[in-house]
Structure 1
């Protein structure tokens, strides 16, 4: 009798208990939604909303999954068994390989899996990613895989860097790779030699994204390649040899990323952008190497990174026409560039004067991302009194890494808190031990945030990585982002 009374009281409390309140101010059910194969209480089949989607949409979802996860969807439910074979295949060696410092890739196992997948899946294949080192160690196998009819209509071809620790002689790109010319849209070529004899064959009318990483190539081949890709939008060139000067003449290119890499001989020394009317993003991947950048005509250039302040830290510089840019070296910037809205800089010291000069050169700047050591003097209350009255700060987003809450950093950020009338977001990365509510409240007080010039502004303190440095852009797809330096807020 008592047990029955307890059950009735427990049931009554459960019925009277209010729903949980979410962080967004709404309500949500306490029980998690039922997934594929789950069943409701009493044995009735659960509502499987995912499986109710049209099969073409489900196939698209499966095609975006890594190779292993895509194949495993066959066990979710009976109606899912055929989806993996009907979906476009994403065959990625990076996802199939065992990677890690103590668990090296099993070459034999990986090389055996690739033909098994190609023979099991009828196609089409959306993406094929194969280790670049196989071009030397398994030349015949790579040639056979690329010749497989399953790969007909391939859109994305990548030679990935699974064995980054191996140093091997570079061989030419397999001839079978050129059979995908009519369909390829994304290509990443790594660790191979591209002789001039293949320049005429490199004609890809639909190619939009191209990455050349650790390749040997001549200026003749590169110029011919750009001419042979009329739809090319993103170009990434990193750690290549054989080229002293990269010359860009393209009506379609929107994003360019160039890195010198570790090569000290026969490396890229100069980037000349002669005619790029569609260019919007220019990213220099290296801070420590000499790269002379010249821009003649680029009227749509909106994003630049990563600039350095030069105090012996980097000798890179940009010289161009007055309508675009004169001087990438921060102590030589003199021209006014009204098109640039996103800028990433790496400073030896956090220096407000340097940043103010940047804002004068880029008066329409909306997003500014800064990496620097904390040291510096940023007293400004008297020094920049006249500037504050006459200069319109248009910054909407400011990102600062390595924040420690010391006086120079507080003074720097306070300047923008009290004077940036259009500020919307300030992203401040702190150490994990300081990522707490108490620490955040203290910094709000130090930065005088209650007196902020923009009432809609907010500060996001985080111990997570929200910003991407120029050296972290390691795939050509990163260049296609509207803001390549912003990752996410967490």
Structure 2
């Protein structure tokens, strides 16, 4: 008995103590407010839902319109976020039919408390028999403090605009004190309207298909003291645009005549011409200009930098070289080494060179001209992109010239049509391009397929502030020559 009792006591001493009840984890403040944030194991829910309301609102406002509204079904924490987040209302994400668009836009504006971040709708949809509806939209509290207004031009999803452009609704200009980005398309901006406009915070402006006088165009630019990006597409009613701006960093568009008189911050001049558009562009003072194109040097284009003139397919009166330009894009119908060499002399500090050539090549008037350039021409190019490369003699001469002479070259990409994108073509080019004798031992050489749907270099407003607006993501498929 005594032995049995002693054994029991000994076992009780050796046995582990009963586990203490685990103290419940304290709830976070978010979980206390919204139990749906707790995970199945009682821990915190998804990390995105734990972000502050202001951050969630910014995320929602950057989503396409439908996706932003659908965040309400994610969890109870998200349920009311969309209604108070800055509204992003873009007609392209809503519906295809005009009548449905009216109903959907009206319903969204009625449900949203504001403020507004972006409002996008075709401008011609706001005039005529829709004027009263449009006026109600633009005066809605949901658009208060609007930052981006996109009264865009024709959209394939909606009926064609009227033949005669109409002025935009007056209510569209109630946001002038808060707008930072504005696109105006397919309308008439009369002088009386332009004289009254003032956009103190506007940084980006696009005019597309706008009828505007020369004096009104200059008035609007002067009324935007913070303007950094200006894009003018297919607009009419003026012949010459003169730029005197201390804030502009990028200008794009197609002009009959563009004169940069004083632009101390200007860095980019874009989409200046094409094989079918021959503008006159003069730059008097732009000390920070680094990106230029797309030039069409086969026609009667004139590009003047003080006394530097590129005219036709040759560089004439080359008394001043342009040392600030580092990125250049050129569109040639017929690739000519004479023109290329003249461009290298005119822009001696180029680092990136984009060139397109869809026509037949040209034989150099000075066959051995390039052989004596290495001592007089300091080629600093790091990137060369040639589109529509066909392996014909002028194209091979172009590529070989830089392969043999560009000592700083890092990457050459040759875009070819699909019929040339094969091993047989690549093998012939390896022999013709003399890659083993390249001046830059670390350079890479790639073939990439051309984009069959890409005809011209076109830009949208938001491309204008990119460090390199001509840089396109190459197709995932490419073939390395080395």
User: Contact conserved, 1:320 with 1:327, CA < 8 A, in 2?
Assistant: no
1:143 maps to which residue?
135
**Segment of structure 1 superposing worse, 282-291 or 182-191:** 282-291
**Cα pair 1:370 1:401 within 8 Å, conserved:** yes
Q: 2:416 matched to which residue of 1?
A: 430
Residue of structure 2 in register with 1:156 after alignment: 148
Residue 221 of structure 1: aligned partner: 216
Kindly indicate whether the alpha-carbon contact (under 8 Å) linking 2:106 and 2:137 is maintained by their aligned counterparts in 1.
yes
**Contact 2:387-2:450 at 8 Å conserved across structures:** no
Report how many aligned residue pairs link the two structures.
430
- Shift in Å, 1:386: 1.5
Describe the shift of the 1:373–1:46 C-alpha distance in structure 2 as closer, same or farther (beyond 3 A). Answer: farther
In the alignment, is residue 395 of structure 1 matched against residue 386 of structure 2?
no
CA distance in 2, matches of 1:108, 1:472: 31
- Kindly indicate whether the alpha-carbon contact (under 8 Å) linking 1:306 and 1:346 is maintained by their aligned counterparts in 2: yes
For residue 209 of structure 1, what is the aligned residue in structure 2?
204
Aligned to 2:282: 294
- Which residues of structure 1 form unaligned runs of 5+? 1-36, 99-105, 261-268
Normalising by structure 1, we get a TM-score of 0.80
The SS at the match of 1:301 is: coil
Q: Equivalent of 1:338, from 323, 328, 332?
A: 323
What corresponds to 1:327 in structure 2? 310
The aligned counterpart of 1:72 is: 70
Greater Cα offset, 279-288 or 146-155: 279-288
Aligned-residue RMSD, C-alpha:
3.0
Q: 1:449 to 1:69 in 2, by over 3 A?
A: farther
Q: Whole-Å Cα distance in 2 between the matches of residues 374 and 451 of structure 1?
A: 29
The separation in 1 between residues aligned to 2:144 and 2:102, in whole angstroms, is 20
Return the alpha-carbon distance in structure 2 between the equivalents of residues 469 and 302 of structure 1: 24
Partner residue in 2 for 1:128: 119
Over 3 Å counting, the alpha-carbon distance change for 1:289 and 1:446 in structure 2 is closer
Offset of 1:256 from its aligned partner?
Answer: 0.9
1:107 matched to 2:98? The reply is yes
Alpha-carbon spacing, 1:332–1:388, altered in 2? closer, same or farther (3 Å):
closer
The Cα shift of 1:208 comes to: 0.5
Taking structure 2 as the reference length, what is the TM-score of the superposition? 0.81
Summarize the Cα distance change of 1:63–1:345 in structure 2 as closer, same or farther, 3 Å threshold.
same
2:441 maps to which residue?
455
Distance in 1 separating the partners of 2:46 and 2:114:
28
Q: Aligned-pair distance for 1:347? A: 0.8
Q: Is residue 341–residue 370 contact of structure 2 (8 Å, CA) maintained in 1?
A: no
Superimposed CA distance per residue, residues 402-427 of structure 1 (whole angstroms, 9 cap, x where no aligned partner):
12333432332122122211111212
| Structure 1 residue 338: Cα displacement | 0.7
Q: CA deviation at 1:378?
A: 6.3
Asked if 1 retains the 8 angstrom alpha-carbon contact of 2:115 and 2:141, the reply is no
Aligned residue for 2:374, secondary structure, equals: helix
1:156, distance to aligned residue in structure 2 (A) = 0.4
Distance 1:330 1:185, change over 3 A: farther
The C-alpha deviation readout for 1:238-297, integer Å capped at 9, x for no partner, is 22221122111111111111325xxxxxxxx32122111111111244422342222221
What's the CA shift for 1:437?
6.9
The CA distance in 1 between the partners of 2:135 and 2:394, in whole Å, is: 59
Change (3 A) 1:467 1:345: farther
Alpha-carbon distance in structure 2 between the residues aligned to 1:369 and 1:186: 29
Change (3 A) 1:300 1:466: farther
Alignment of 1:176-255 (within 5 A): 176-255=171-250
Secondary structure of the 2:220 match is helix
In structure 2, distance between residues paired with 1:317 and 1:382: 28
Offset, 1:431: 2.6
Structure 1 match to 2:356: 371
**1:424–1:457 contact (8 Å) kept in structure 2:** yes
Tell me the alpha carbon deviations over residues 453-483 of structure 1, each in whole angstroms, 9 at most, x when there is no partner: 212221232226499876411x222211121
Instruction: State whether residues 156 and 187 of structure 1, in contact with CA within 8 Å, keep that contact through their aligned partners in structure 2.
Output: yes
Q: Distance in 1 between matches of 2:453 and 2:257?
A: 27
Equivalent position SS for 2:182: strand
Q: 156, 163, 166: which one pairs with 1:168?
A: 163
Q: Is the Cα contact below 8 Å between 1:366 and 1:394 reproduced in 2?
A: yes
1:266-281 equivalences under 5 Å are 269-281=256-268
1:266 aligned residue: none
| Compared CA separation, residues 316 and 362, structure 1 to 2 (3 A) | same
Deviation at 1:219, TM superposition (A): 1.6
Deviation at 1:440, TM superposition (A): 5.0
Q: Which runs of 5+ in 2 are unaligned?
A: 1-35, 477-482
Question: In the superposition, relative to structure 1, how do residues 460 and 124 fare at CA in structure 2: closer, same or farther (>3 Å)?
Answer: farther
Q: Distance in 2 between matches of 1:327 and 1:209?
A: 30
